[in-house]
Amino acid sequence: MLESYLTGLVVCGGIIIAIGAQNAYVLGLAVRREHHWWSAGLCMSTDVLLLTAGMFGVSAILLTMPSAMEAMRWLGVAFLSWLAAQAFYRAATGRQALAAVADGRSLKHVLLATLAVTILNPQVYLDTLLLVPAIGAQQESATTFVAGASTASILWFSLLAWGGSMLSPWLSRPLAWRLIDGAIGLMMAVVAVHLASNGV
């Protein structure tokens, strides 16, 4: 059972770190201290829900609906491209009141954007509903495997939220923010191009 838990922890940890759009968005909020723990919490909850659903049956249903995955793919490309354009604009023009000051967005706006970054990325479904369950099916205990995978998500997004906010005082210069926004924009654009060219 311990082996199943550690396998879930390691496998899911590697996959979550690789999903760039979600990570970049949460990190950007954390650096600005803009409802970042709420955003991280929503990401954790969504991951746990999707991992559990995938491990216990949704993956089989999802494979029967390729048209839904294709529609989700292009919605994801459009949304990620929009986020990338916003980030590149901020990188080019700079920000005002940079010293750990939020953009003034409401909690509702931040949570909706976080949810969109999560559910409009088909890679999230491929990983949590197909890839991870395929590995989990080979484990001694599916429940323990899901617990390990869920722990990886909780640890990673906690690290992003805490680490980003801790670094905020050192990232208050306009140049630092331009570099951060440029990196976030590049990451979003890469994911969008990958989805558009390679599909799901």
Domain that holds residue 184: 2-198
Confidence of residue 151 (pLDDT cuts 50, 70, 90): very high
Average pLDDT value for residue range 99-121: 78
Confidence of residue 61 (pLDDT cuts 50, 70, 90): low
Q: How many domains would you assign to the chain? A: 1
153 contact partners, CB below 8 Å, separation of at least 6: 12, 16, 43, 44, 47, 48, 51
pTM score: 0.68
